[in-house]
Structure 1
């Protein structure tokens, strides 16, 4: 059906929007993944143990299926080294990560031979490893398995569930995120009878996150003008300053997941903005020129954003942010 024909069957209020990108997922897998990335998810690590072997994979495909009986599902790539273990073990555990476990997500996304060696965990009641510090655990028996194209969908019967306090670690638009209450989701503090928290402690961190989100969204226009999206821009910036990094090092340095880093590397190689070397990857002349162009846009964007803010306010903000950065670096 042509777009003109579609427009004949729309509401009067409908105003068409041009997509940032579109196409056939069968011929453009990376575009398909970026579109899927618009649907934010939690992050879980699926674990199992059988015959003295332990396996773990990081996924965002976890979902509930049924309450009666209690069923959940997730999917594993047919190319995964752990696929045979998970499809034959007959059991698994879902470990839902908290906002404090971004490093755990990256660790279990790596290609280490023994991912459990440096992890804190204990064997659950039903035989699968349970990771420490998670928001929830679901200990499952394998209920059924379904062929899902290049993945196998594994459905589990939940035998035991447990929940802990904390905030979830999220993944959206190719980057780690945290949850924040939507301002329209609940009554204002005044309406509920509570006094709003106007202390510095109550507002500074939430405002930092809101400012980051708003600024990143605004700067997206400049990225798109240079033919970039967030993952590509991060890899370009990192490679410009630190040539020779390998994929695992890039994933950690840019805070992107392993899969998004691999996709970005593939796209940069195709566009001849990056070359592979024995030691890792480096930018081509075209890649360095593109990085210089996007950095120039970033500097102009920064200048425009802070124009009109008094110098004393800027210096106070810089001091506050520097202290927050330093104390969190010390906690790593």
Structure 2
């Protein structure tokens, strides 16, 4: 029996955000691809004293026998000439603590290796410190892939380290956490493992942040914005004149996702951009930001209903100390979030 293809809007109860031909809207294509979460890797290679690197999330396993992997590089990348001719490369899989390293190697810094810790691998490709895995590869094949080149690597040497992987999904950095539908391990076993997510204070903070962000999604949809757009709104509202790289640093969004959000806001006349790249919200943009903020306050009150004030005060003091300590260590400004 032939089954007719249903309309996309009837496939499930999930709310349809957008649909269409990706050839008509490349940004929509990229946003849809971002629904598939990936790890984050830095690819490195060396030719004598010349070293090159690029941050990617296109890394994937390909074959176990022989051990092959693949990734792709944008032909417009400054590192493309090096990787299009190299004989060897290394894959550095980033840990949850290496967001800044990811940004550093996707920036326009000329010598990206000058300020980071690394060592030459078996084939001279740089291996970055703090990663949770290294794969040292010879180039097995290269293939054309539209505006990218696909590289297939034959793994010659590998290493795995303890740590939590860095995840990139829906335009922002994330960390993996236990799914609520997965049966928990016995309490006695969990108690015997102080490094498990349930006993890791900082990971619990990350988990709470992402859980609350997901729960707040219906309010963003009601205002017609995505996570990225909401965070760019908050950042520009707090720091008028801020530029795209500053927003990326504050919001933990990828540079492309910041540019996409800025383009969307400008198209809707919610934001203006000066010749020097500095941004300002229009009156309509400020009104939208305020509407989201009011929703966040109401959402926060609902989430904290029934929690004793002394407990909230203890949490606030602890978080304030952590924030103050990291600011002193790193000199970071407050991270802009969609609600706060």
Tell me the TM-score normalized by structure 1: 0.89
Q: CA deviation at 1:306?
A: 2.1
Residues 277-288 of structure 1: pairs in structure 2 closer than 5 A: 277-279=274-276, 280-288=278-286
- CA deviations on 1:177-212 (whole Å, 9 max, x unpaired) are 11223344455314xx6364799x926545433332
Give the equivalent residue in structure 1 for 2:220: 223
Distance 1:102 1:161 in 2: 22
Contact between 1:63 and 1:72, CA under 8 Å: does it hold in 2?
A: yes
- CA deviations on 1:224-255 (whole Å, 9 max, x unpaired) are 11111001111111001112222211111111
Matched, 1:34 2:31: yes
Q: 1:7 to 1:273 in 2, by over 3 A?
A: closer
Give the equivalent residue in structure 1 for 2:5: 6
| Alignment counterpart, residue 164 of structure 1, candidates 143, 161, 164 | 161
Matched, 1:121 2:124: no
**Count of residues in correspondence between the two structures:** 322
| Alignment counterpart, residue 319 of structure 1, candidates 317, 320, 335 | 317
Residues 177-192 of structure 1: pairs in structure 2 closer than 5 A: 177-185=174-182, 188-190=185-187
Give the equivalent residue in structure 2 for 1:290: 288
- CA deviations on 1:109-168 (whole Å, 9 max, x unpaired) are 111111112111111110211111111111111111111111111111111111111111
Q: CA deviation at 1:7?
A: 5.2
Q: CA deviation at 1:264?
A: 1.5
Q: 1:309 to 1:198 in 2, by over 3 A?
A: farther
Secondary structure in 2 matching 1:89 = coil
Distance 1:160 1:257 in 2: 30
Distance 1:82 1:281 in 2: 30
Q: Which runs of 5 or more structure 2 residues have no equivalent in the other structure?
A: 331-340
Residues 202-281 of structure 1: pairs in structure 2 closer than 5 A: 202=199, 204-279=201-276, 280-281=278-279
Give the equivalent residue in structure 2 for 1:84: 81
The worse-fitting range, judged by mean Cα deviation, of 78-87 and 272-281 is 272-281
Distance 1:17 1:194 in 2: 37
Distance 1:136 1:207 in 2: 24
Tell me the TM-score normalized by structure 2: 0.87
Give the equivalent residue in structure 2 for 1:176: 173
Secondary structure in 2 matching 1:88 = coil
